[in-house]
Chain A
Amino acid sequence: MMFSSTLLEELYGENEMRNILLIISRDLSKLIKEKFFLVMRYISTLIQIFVYGVIISKIITFKNFYNYYLVGIYVILVFYVALNAGYDVLDEIRMGMLEYYLSLPISRGEYIVAKSISGGVLSTVYSIPILALILLLSNAFSPLKIIEILTLTFIFALSMSGIIIIISLQIKSPNISDIIYGVLVTLLLKLSTVYYPTAVMPSFYKYPALINPVSHITDLLRYIILGEGSYSIPPEIAFPAILFLAMASITFTTIIMERKVEGR
């Protein structure tokens, strides 16, 4: 992972790093215990790859569309797991767990960094089998590509978890957060290059897609997996954009948590 324990130790010190790792390991063990979620998400992704993907690639005659579509499916999986990890904070607010965390000998910043990193780690770990499958199906399996993709997956997932955490902490009302969460998911996925390149999009659709972080990560991964000509947003733009989003997300969540959050 990009945030190795040594890097965390440099940033936070030994005790703080231990706390962050404890929160991450707890979230990981929670994900493993929630077998139903795990299995259903894998089944849904496999159906998209082997049923929907095969059908749609016969309908759409765009060159090499199946491989193009596979990368999109991978991003959707990562996106949902990351959002789910961020949404966990909202769930914890609902269950009263936030009050518990706020009473523990950890800083608000540590908690939020841990939850965001959890989102990144969970999504990355969770997506490995599907990534391996997609690389095999695309004939693009290579250890270097796996490392590059997993690193980018981690950064992107961390950002998405952070954004959902910001919404959860700012809104606090679970019902309103649910609505915003639903709208955000729809907009980010539909107005993106996950399914189609911008070349075939109408202009009102194209411009939001070009500034959408989901498009950035999808096209960056397409560049790595499928090579030149497979993306709408060039990697020189997509990569800094993804990095900027991750830093902004962590910074904002930490500021909000430190300044505003009370348990109730």
Chain B
Amino acid sequence: MKVAVEINNLSKYYGSFQALKSLTLNIYEGEIFGLLGPNGAGKTTTLLILATVIKPSSGNVKVMGIDVTKEPLKVRKNIGFSFQEPKALRVDTVLDVLRWHGKICGLRGIELEENIRRIMANLGLAKYSGKMFMHLSGGLKKKVEVAKILIQKPKIAIFDEPTAQVDVIGKHAIWNLIRELRDEGSTIIIATNDMNEAEMLCDRIAIIHNGVIIVEGKPEELKDKIPSGDILEIELERNLTRKEIGLMVEKIGISNFKATGRNIIFYINRGEEMLPIIMEKMNSIGIKIKRTMIKEPTLDDVFFYFTGRTLR
């Protein structure tokens, strides 16, 4: 597959704060690529550098083979950026916002009007076309922001938190339109902290945390990175001391676990067989269990496994 976006050793400082730390990443043409991570992880900074809105402190970034620092205008002619915070003049109507965006991106005539009509109908925006942007709800503003890029149909479409504040029906409509855009030949890059969105929509995902890519791959590949097949979550009645944790490891003989507060997560094989054995051994050393759950790993578990933090 051809590389659409090539990022090499990208770093970005805001004053003394390092938002991105030597990021290296390839995004391929025609895929939906997700940057998954919590707020402040560096997702938006990465996307803004791709869009040439901000400059990298160091490193190389190429979009469609064009260097973002050397030929930013050429890069911008290939991209469309849907911002996390919707951007429009307060006094503009929904139709004004979409029509102006289409025109400045080079669309005109019947093609522009047809794109606007279709996207507005699909996103349920048609009845708000004459309404001023500033009078819309948060979810509707977000839909207008996403609609701009869906109308534009750029080669590289960037969506920063595309469904934040949008209701469930709206989310599915946006996801479908993003998939359609991919099918029509665009490369899609999405930043999200919604693991469900990442899992449902993305062909490949990179998990980003504190400005570093921790792991990347297809959603299933990421889940496979967690050793053993099952996740056993145990909620205890109280926090464990270090000594008790040491004793538990010695008694149960499983070292692949993470303990946070009253919760312990074991990464094990044959979870259902192992559960009674683990419970019995924990009881025998006086650790009281409140609740247990066995599940297949999710992207949140992948994130937790690599960072010790949850995305929720």
Chain A positions within 8 Å of B, measured between CB atoms, are 15, 19, 22-23, 26, 29-30, 33-34, 95-97, 99-100, 102-107, 262-264
Contact = CB atoms under 8 A, between A and B. Distances in A.
B85 interface: yes
A39 to B, nearest CB: 15
A66 B270 CA distance: 96
B252 interface: no
Interface in B52-102: 52-55, 73, 76-77, 79, 81, 83, 85, 87, 89-92, 96, 100
Chain A facing B: main interface SS: helix
A22 B106 contact: no
B103 interface: yes
A22 B103 contact: yes
B83 A105 contact: no
A262 B55 contact: yes
A106 B87 contact: no
Nearest to A31: B91
A264 B84 CA distance: 14
Contact of A105 (B55, B73, B91): B73
A96 B104 contact: no
A30 B87 contact: no
Interface of B: 48, 51-55, 73, 76-77, 79, 81, 83, 85, 87, 89-92, 96, 100, 103-106
A99 B105 contact: no
Nearest to A109: B73
A104 B104 contact: yes
Given A22-B104, A26-B100, A102 B52 contact: yes
Contacts of A23: 104
A263 B106 contact: no
Contacts of A100: 81, 83, 87
* Closest CB pairs A-B (n = 5): A100-B87, A103-B81, A33-B91, A263-B53, A262-B54
Nearest to B84: A96
A190 B70 CA distance: 46
A19 B55 contact: no
Nearest to B103: A22
Given A26-B100, A263-B53, A263-B54, A107 B73 contact: yes
A96 B76 CA distance: 18
Nearest to B91: A33
Contacts of B90: 95
Contacts of B77: 105
B100 A99 contact: no
17 contacts: A19-B104, A22-B100, A30-B92, A34-B91, A96-B87, A97-B89, A99-B48, A100-B83, A100-B87, A102-B52, A103-B76, A104-B76, A105-B73, A105-B76, A106-B73, A107-B73, A264-B53
Contacts of B79: 103
Nearest to A264: B54
Nearest to B45: A264
A215 to B, nearest CB: 35
Contacts of B83: 96, 99-100, 103
Contacts of A34: 91
A104 B100 CA distance: 11
Nearest to B93: A33
B53 A105 contact: no
Contacts of B96: 29
